[in-house]
Structure 1
C-alpha cells in the first residue's frame, strides 16, 4: 500500500510503500510519547525505506534520543525525523535495519485500515497519568513483545499484497479479520 504523508505546515511531504499499514501497536515509552507528542503513546507503521520519497528535505531535522539505563548513558541508533518548521514527527529510521522505515501513523494522510485490535507496548515506562484504553482482549506488554510489526500483520493476513494493474503493480491490502479473534494465539506478558 502506498502511504502519503506530510507535516502539519505542509513543508515536508513524503511517500513510501508499506506492507504493514495497520496502525495496531501503541508505544508508551518516553521517547515515543515525547517525540511524537500530543498524547500518552505513539503509533509507528512499517514500510520499505528504499521506496521513501521526500519533498521539502531542507526542512527535515533528525533527533537521536539519549537513553539512560542506571549509570550507563548511550545514544539511540534510531533517527527520529521531524519538520524543523512546525515540529511534526514524521518517521523513525534505524540504520541497524537499513531496509525499514517506521512512519508515524499521525503523519499519514492516506486513509489507513482500521486495526482489529490494539497491542500496547512499553507499559513499564508509560507516564503515570496515562490511562491505557482499548478493547477487551488487547495485548499488553511491559517491554517490547517478541514479534515484529511484519510478523503481527502476516499472522493475521493483513500484509498488503501486490496487485497487477495494467503494466504496473499496486499494493492492495489483504482483508481485515473482524474483532479480537485475530489475537487468539497471542501470548502477552503477565504482570
Structure 2
C-alpha cells in the first residue's frame, strides 16, 4: 500500500510506492536537528510529487547532496531528494508529514550528520 503525505496547507504532496516504513533516520546535522525530521529514504522511481512545482522551493547546503523541498506557503518540508551513497537517485520523505504513519511504532536510527 503506498505511503502518502503533504505539507500543512496541501499545496505539495507525494505518493511513495511500497510498504509503509517501519524505521526512520534521525540525523543531528544542522538542518535536520532544527527541523525535527524523521526521514525515510527510497529509490527515486518509487516517488511521485504532486501539486504545483511553483508552490515549492529548494534549499541545499554543505555538499549539496540533498535537495530539501519546502512549501512556499506553509513552510513544511515533506520530502526531498538527492543521490544516495551508491550513486543512485533517491527520495527522502519526512515521516512527520506522512499520512497514517504511527511515529511511536517506528524504530529510530540515529545518524551523526553533524560529524560529516
Query: What TM-score range do you get, normalising by the shorter chain?
Result: 0.7 to 0.9
Indicate the SS of the match to 2:26.
Answer: strand
Aligned residues: 111
Q: Deviations over 1:53-90 (max 9, x none)?
A: 2123220111111x2xxxxxxx4221111111111012
Structure with more of its chain in strand, by fraction: 2
Higher relative contact order (CA 8 A, sep 6+): 2
Aligned-residue RMSD, C-alpha: 2.4
The CA deviation at 1:119 is 2.2
1:42 and 2:37 aligned: yes
> What corresponds to 1:51 in structure 2?
46
| Runs of at least 5 residues in structure 1 that lack an aligned partner in the other structure | 68-74, 126-142, 145-191
TM-score (norm 1): 0.50
Indicate the SS of the match to 2:45.
Answer: helix
Q: Find runs of 4+ consecutive structure 1 residues off by over 6 angstroms.
A: none
Query: Which has the higher Rg, Structure 1 or Structure 2?
Result: 1
The CA deviation at 1:14 is 1.3
Q: Tell me if the contact between 1:45 and 1:104 (Cα under 8 Å) persists in the aligned partners.
A: yes
Q: Cα–Cα, structure 1 residues 88 and 106, in superposed 2: closer, same or farther, change >3 Å?
A: same
TM-score (norm 2): 0.77
